[in-house]
């Protein structure tokens, strides 16, 4: 039974030819050889990588993702060009175009009227008419009542006759009131050294027979107020 001898540590192994081999010696570690990380660090990497997607599921991350997400697709180049042309030259309906044209015409007329009525003589005429009560202010309502009274000709012919006479008398009173206003205006203009203009009488007459609320430009003085 001496065919096998127990192996002792430190002894060389024999190859099949019977040659004895010396045990391998550990290689010396050089200064440049990188040091291997322990197995624990390698095992910690999957844990850290697994924790990253978990943090993305938190409410803060979900809110950030919701804020940055677009609610509509990115417009194409044709759509972007159409939107840019719409901003530069907006397309409007015919009704809106007519409204804008009317507003522009009205603004132009108001500017022209303001430039035309800015003379000293016309400013004084407007203030002179607005500062007093004129019979011409009620001329249009009185004429309207007389026209309505004509429909009663078949039932009350006497009412139509009296209303017609009253209409002519009222028009005469309006003319006399205008003459009185014109004389007072000329006196005030002469005292202030303001020269009279052509067409000033018609300008004052037209303002006298208009309702106070419908006068343009708007009255700047109240009734009885000095100007």
Going from N- to C-terminal start, the domains of the chain cover: 78-116, 119-214
Given a cut of 70, whether residue 47 has pLDDT beyond it is no
Whole-number average pLDDT of the chain: 77
Confidence of residue 41 (pLDDT cuts 50, 70, 90): very low
The more confidently predicted of residues 16 and 155 is: 155
Residue 20 three-state SS:
strand
Q: Which residues contact 82 (CB under 8 A, 6 or more apart)?
A: none
Average pLDDT (62-79) is: 70
Q: Could you report the per-residue pLDDT of 120-151, keeping only the tens digit for each?
A: 999 999 999 999 999 999 999 999 988 888 88
Per the confidence metrics, is the pTM higher than 0.75? no
**pLDDT confidence of residue 158:** 85
224 dihedral zone (left: phi>0; alpha: psi -120 to 50; beta): left
Q: What is the pLDDT of residue 208?
A: 94
DSSP letter for each residue of 132-188: S--GGGGHHHHHHHHHHHGGGTTT-HHHHHHHHHHHHHHHHHHHHHHHHHHHHHHHH
Helix (H, G, I), strand (E, B) or coil at 21: strand
pLDDT of residue 93: 79
Question: In which band, very low, low, confident or very high, does the pLDDT at 39 lie, cut at 50, 70 and 90?
Answer: very low
Rounded to whole angstroms, the Cα distance separating 155 from 138 reads 27
pLDDT 10s digits, 168-223? 999 999 999 999 999 999 999 999 999 999 999 999 999 999 999 999 889 999 99
pLDDT band at residue 97 under the 50/70/90 scheme: confident
More confident residue, 89 or 131: 131
The gap from C-alpha 196 to its chain's centroid, in whole angstroms, comes to 46
Q: In the chain, what is the straight-line distance between the N-terminal and C-terminal CA atoms, in Å? A: 150
Give me the half-sphere count of Cα atoms (radius 13 Å) on the Cβ side of residue 49. 6
List, in sequence order, every residue forming a beta bridge with 20; answer none if it has no partner: 14
């Amino acid at each position: 039974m001496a065919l096998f001898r127990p192996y002792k540590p430190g002894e060389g192994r024999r190859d099949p030819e019977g040659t004895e081999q010396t045990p391998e010696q550990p290689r010396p570690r050089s200064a440049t050889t990188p040091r291997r990380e322990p197995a624990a660090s390698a095992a910690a990497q999957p844990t850290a990588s697994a924790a990253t997607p978990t943090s993305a599921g938190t409410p803060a991350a979900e809110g950030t993702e919701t804020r940055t997400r677009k609610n509509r697709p990115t417009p194409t180049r044709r759509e972007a060009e159409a939107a840019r042309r719409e901003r530069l030259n907006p397309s409007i309906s015919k009704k809106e175009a007519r409204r804008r044209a009317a507003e522009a015409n009205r603004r132009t007329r108001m500017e022209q009227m303001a430039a035309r009525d800015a003379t000293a003589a016309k400013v004084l005429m407007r203030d002179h008419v607005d500062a007093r009560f004129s019979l011409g202010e009620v001329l249009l309502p009185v004429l309207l009542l007389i026209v309505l009274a004509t429909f009663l000709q078949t039932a009350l012919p006497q009412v139509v006759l009296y209303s017609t006479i009253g209409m002519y008398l009222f028009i005469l009173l309006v003319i006399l009131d205008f003459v009185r206003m014109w004389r007072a205006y000329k006196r005030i203009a002469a005292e202030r050294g303001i020269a009279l203009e052509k067409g000033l009488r018609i300008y004052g007459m037209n303002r006298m027979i208009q309702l106070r609320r419908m006068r343009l430009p708007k009255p700047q003085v109240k009734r009885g107020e000095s100007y």
